[in-house]
Structure 1
Amino acid sequence: MSITDQPSAQERFSCAEYRTQRPYGYGTYAVNLKAVRGDGVMTTVSHYTGPPFGDPWDEITFGIAGKDTTKLEIGYVVRGVGRRDIVIDLGFDAAKEFHTYGFEAKANRIAWTVDGRVVHTAEGGLNDLPQSPGWLYLKFWNGSGQSSWLKPFKYSGRPLTAEIAWVRYEEDTSALSN
């Protein structure tokens, strides 16, 4: 997934985004990727639904900001109310090699993982956690303007590319009924 200097619609740069063709519900999601180091860029994975799909905004997300590729930022949104700003020290540089990032979503728990190890959990009831099936988005994008969160983006003159080796979803069969 690349950021290039080819204009797109109203944007000065083209950014990459992949989305599943249908929504998925509870289960285990994993993505094996190598992030990009660079100010103003973000490699993200989100399980999202919201107004474009006729749903309330529910989201489970994680991302690696290019300004510090040793940190994983995680969060979630429940009916439009965000719970973010959780930063996990990875103990390695996510831009140097491939690692597996993911989460397990259940009705009462979200567990984010790195290389199969749980790094953060959120627990709660039906009103506390995202409940809606969502589309899985993989994005590599740049911020615009001044931002202390990402730092300003300056195009280097060559495409920046985040690499995705694979994506996996395993349905939570305990949530199914006959």
Structure 2
Amino acid sequence: MPKIRLSFPAVHSGRLARFFGAALVTLGLALSAASAEEIPQGASFFDDFDSFDESRWGISDGWANGTWQNCQWSKDAMSVSDGYLHLRFRRQPTESRDYICGEIQSRNTYGFGVYEARFHTSRGSGLNAAFFTYIGPHHGKPHDEIDFEVLTRDTSRVSLNTYVGGQPNNGKSVPLPHAADDGFITYSFIWSEEGITWYVDGVKMHTTSAGSPLPTHAQKIYASFWGSDSFPNWMGRFDEPEQELTMTVDWIAFTAQGESCRFPASLLCALE
């Protein structure tokens, strides 16, 4: 689902066209056609959040992605403790919003390889717990994106999607092995020249269709937990939470294409 993305520490655009017109899509497609760049291979990592690595992650802080987002990104909505990353949604009025919400984003971009995160999330209508990759016009690139989104009105499913040049492709909603608020689940996707395949707890759930457009640019990695009262048909009617809600992340990892399994919980260990 389109959303404006903000890049640490400056503003950037992304997921924009559906709500703000076709101009950005046109630009994105033109840039994509003009540059079939070879995707660089970023350095592999496994981050178990025993501490917060400021050289790897930036914290989204002090803005909202658009008028439709009912919370403001805030460093106060993010913390690391006891080996977990906590991204929160709670009532805390700011200069522009009644709520704050949490997001981290990688400082570097990453290319072909295996992307993985293990997290659980609270239940709440009108909220989105997301693990995804993104690059966009603010970075001088067209809007490319690969998504896992748990729309927490229904924690039994996760939405999968890609954006290429600002256009959605290969979207699908798939069931989870248990409700996302009942415990941790591992979300993984493999991105290569041939396509993208999504896995949940090591089980293949979806793959891009033959001949469909694919992202062609290295992307940043994001984890975010945010809310909106503008998309009742997609995210559900926003119901103000009675208490603070949390997306809790156990770990996030990237393994560059061509490398073997680097840690026991990796999808690659099961596939090798």
TM-score (norm 2): 0.60
Count of residues in Structure 1 that have an aligned counterpart in Structure 2? 173
SS of aligned partner of 2:138: helix
SS of aligned partner of 1:67: coil
Does the 8 Å CA contact 1:32/1:167 hold for their aligned counterparts?
Answer: yes
Go from structure 1 to structure 2 and tell me whether the alpha carbon gap of 1:84 and 1:109 turns closer, same or farther (over 3 Å shift).
closer
Task: Determine whether 1:37 maps to 2:123.
Answer: yes
Q: Deviations over 1:75-134 (max 9, x none)?
A: 001111112541101242111000100101011210101111111001445x71011100
Comparing 76-85 and 64-73, the one that deviates more: 76-85
Go from structure 1 to structure 2 and tell me whether the alpha carbon gap of 1:8 and 1:29 turns closer, same or farther (over 3 Å shift).
farther
Residue matched to 1:52: 138
Task: Determine whether 1:156 maps to 2:213.
Answer: no
Instruction: State how 1:29-178 maps to structure 2 within 5 Å.
Output: 29-83=115-169, 85-124=171-210, 128-145=213-230, 147-173=232-258
State the structure with bigger RCO (CA 8 A, min sep 6), 1 or 2: 1
Task: Determine whether 1:14 maps to 2:100.
Answer: yes
Unaligned stretches of 5+ in structure 2?
A: 1-86, 260-272
Does the 8 Å CA contact 1:123/1:129 hold for their aligned counterparts?
Answer: no
CA-based RMSD of the aligned residues comes to 1.7
Does the 8 Å CA contact 1:2/1:140 hold for their aligned counterparts?
Answer: yes
Does the 8 Å CA contact 1:104/1:111 hold for their aligned counterparts?
Answer: yes
Does the 8 Å CA contact 1:57/1:79 hold for their aligned counterparts?
Answer: yes
- 1:146 deviates by 5.5
Counting aligned pairs with the same residue, the percent is 28
TM-score (norm 1): 0.90
Q: Which runs of 4+ in 1 moved over 6 A?
A: none
Does the 8 Å CA contact 2:170/2:208 hold for their aligned counterparts?
Answer: no
Go from structure 1 to structure 2 and tell me whether the alpha carbon gap of 1:124 and 1:34 turns closer, same or farther (over 3 Å shift).
same
Q: What letter corresponds to residue 244 of structure 2 in structure 1?
A: P
- 1:8 deviates by 4.1
- 1:173 deviates by 2.8
Which has the larger share of strand?
1
Q: What letter corresponds to residue 133 of structure 2 in structure 1?
A: H
Rounded to whole Å, the distance in 2 between the matches of 1:168 and 1:146 is 31
Which has the larger share of helix?
2
